[in-house]
Amino acid sequence: MRGLLLGILISCLAGVAQAGIVTFEFESEEQRQRFYQLGNELRCPKCQNQNIADSDAPIAEDLRNEVFRLLSEGHDNREIIDYMVMRYGDFVRYRPAFNAQTAALWLAPGVFLFGAIGILVFMLIRRRGNDIAADQSQLSEAEQQQLQKLLK
Amino acid sequence: MRRLLLLLPLVVFLLMAVFLFKGLFLDNENLPSALIGKPFPEFDLASVEDPERRYTREDLLGRPALVNVWATWCVACRVEHPVLNKLAEQGVVIHGVNYKDDLESARRWLRDLHDPYVLNIFDDRGRLGLDLGVYGAPETYLIDARGIVRHKVVGVVDEKLWTRELAARYQALLDEVEP
């Protein structure tokens, strides 16, 4: 019963997610896949935190139609994205191209990750150094006896 | 050295605060146009007044002009319209691109609210709009005499914006033509 309800709920959600793009008739499954892929990758210029597949804004609809038209004309994904970038700028790409302006964006995560690993390694090495130092500072026989006396 | 390390969280906090504070005042509604410095796109569209009359890019050349993308469904365009009327009266060349609109409403609008445009281009399917990278009316493009896009304004052109962003640029383009 529970599984059934969950299934119904999920299929409802799927219906909502696809609502904007059900009217196209694709020549092939591969073309359909590419349409979804491009729809997810292109950003709606008006509603800035949605891609054009998700958005109901008129401009997103226009861009979807345009993507469909270009696909039908046999353009490849790269050409379609370039076409959009030429008109709307780098902004329309959710996966921005690597250039001088976006270098920091692409490289920062790696820099942070390796920085963190570096700090971790440094700390571990230092801690081991401390442990060795502690070993060397062991008490002498006389000090040991003194300590026992104090502890009693 | 250890003492200084204790200051690190404060430094990180201050850095973040600076960026976030700057972010408060970022205007991310206005995207930079990809078309600045590039030629105005080619088009072949009918005029609003007469479906038989076709306009192309050639018709825009010869003198600097504003190209204003508008529509009757666009509320902000109504606010902008009187300003355009005034600018046209002062001799500024403005072309209108009626964007994804109903022809009858567009004609009525121009009749009732006055027509500030030299050319009235009817872009009913939004093809020119797409080539221009229009994502919301009104948008206004400043083009030079050779048809190169030199500046773009997204949103209402009011008098403040005209003096701040457009007037000097337009004048400079005029001076380019006749030094």
Domain assignment present for residue A98? The answer is no
Domain assignment present for residue A63? The answer is yes
Same domain, A88 and A108: no
> In the structure, what pLDDT confidence band is assigned to residue A47 with cuts at 50, 70 and 90?
confident
Sheet holding B139-143, edge to edge: B120-123, B94-99, B65-70, B139-143, B149-154
- Domain holding B173: CATH number? 3.40.30.10
pLDDT digits (tens, 9 = 90+) for B57-67: 999 999 999 99
Domain assignment present for residue B90? The answer is yes
Same domain, A78 and A42: yes
Query: What are A80's strand-pairing partners?
Result: none
Asked if B135's CB is within 8 angstroms of A58's CB, the reply is no
Query: Do B87 and B162 form a contact (C-beta atoms < 8 A)?
Result: yes
Same domain, A47 and A118: no
pLDDT digits (tens, 9 = 90+) for B125-142: 889 999 998 988 899 999
Same domain, A85 and A107: no
Determine if the peptide bond prior to B32 is cis (ω within 30°): no
Provide the pLDDT for residue A134: 65
User: Residues of A with CB below 8 A from B33's CB?
Assistant: 89
CA distance B136 to chain A (A): 7
Percentage of chain B lying above the pLDDT 70 cut: 97
Distance CA B43, CA B97 (A): 11
Domain assignment present for residue A21? The answer is yes
Q: For residue A24, what are the domain limits? A: 2-92
Same domain, A54 and A113: no
Distance CA A114, CA A118 (A): 6
Q: How many CB pairs under 8 A join A and B?
A: 35
Residue B143 has pLDDT above 80, yes or no: yes
CA dihedral A94→A98→A101→A104, nearest 10 degrees, is: 90
Domain assignment present for residue A107? The answer is yes
Asked if A89's CB is within 8 angstroms of B31's CB, the reply is yes
Of A54, A71, A92, the one marking the end of a domain is A92
Which of A59, A87, A90, A91 has the most B C-beta neighbours within 10 Å, making it the best mutation to test the interface with B?
Answer: A87
Domain assignment present for residue B13? The answer is no
Spell out the residues 6+ positions from residue B77 whose beta carbon is closer than 8 angstroms to its own. B70, B71, B137, B138, B156
> In the structure, what pLDDT confidence band is assigned to residue A94 with cuts at 50, 70 and 90?
confident
Kindly tell me the burial class for residue A151, based on how many C-beta atoms sit within 10 Å of its own C-beta (0-12, 13-18, 19 or more): exposed
Q: For residue B169, what are the domain limits? A: 34-177
CA distance B177 to chain A (A): 28
Same domain, A17 and A87: yes
> In the structure, what pLDDT confidence band is assigned to residue B179 with cuts at 50, 70 and 90?
low
Provide the pLDDT for residue B119: 94
Domain assignment present for residue A120? The answer is yes
Provide the pLDDT for residue A10: 56
- Domain holding A9: CATH number? 1.10.8.640
Q: What is the pLDDT averaged over residues B99-122?
A: 93
Q: Which of B28, B126, B133 has the CB atom closest to A88's CB atom?
A: B133
Asked if A58's CB is within 8 angstroms of B32's CB, the reply is no
Residues in chain A whose Cβ is within 8 Å of chain B: 45-46, 48, 58-59, 62-63, 66, 85-91
Count: domains in chain B: 1
Domain assignment present for residue A97? The answer is no
Domain assignment present for residue B138? The answer is yes
Count: domains in chain A: 2
Asked if A58's CB is within 8 angstroms of B100's CB, the reply is yes
pTM assigned to the model: 0.73
Same domain, A33 and A78: yes
> In the structure, what pLDDT confidence band is assigned to residue A152 with cuts at 50, 70 and 90?
confident
Same domain, A88 and A30: yes
Domain assignment present for residue A25? The answer is yes
Asked if B34's CB is within 8 angstroms of A88's CB, the reply is yes
Domain assignment present for residue B165? The answer is yes
User: Residues of A with CB below 8 A from B35's CB?
Assistant: 87
Domain assignment present for residue B162? The answer is yes
Percentage of chain B lying above the pLDDT 90 cut: 73
Same domain, A14 and A52: yes
Provide the pLDDT for residue B58: 93
> In the structure, what pLDDT confidence band is assigned to residue B34 with cuts at 50, 70 and 90?
confident
Which of B135, B141, B149, B154 has the most A C-beta neighbours within 10 Å, making it the best mutation to test the interface with A?
Answer: B135
Domain assignment present for residue B149? The answer is yes
User: Residues of A with CB below 8 A from B133's CB?
Assistant: 45, 87-89
Of A64, A92, A120, the one marking the end of a domain is A92
Domain assignment present for residue B120? The answer is yes
User: Residues of A with CB below 8 A from B152's CB?
Assistant: none
Residue B15 has pLDDT above 90, yes or no: yes
Asked if A89's CB is within 8 angstroms of B136's CB, the reply is no
Residues in chain B whose Cβ is within 8 Å of chain A: 28, 31-35, 100, 126, 129-136
Asked if A89's CB is within 8 angstroms of B34's CB, the reply is yes
Of A92, A116, A137, the one marking the end of a domain is A92
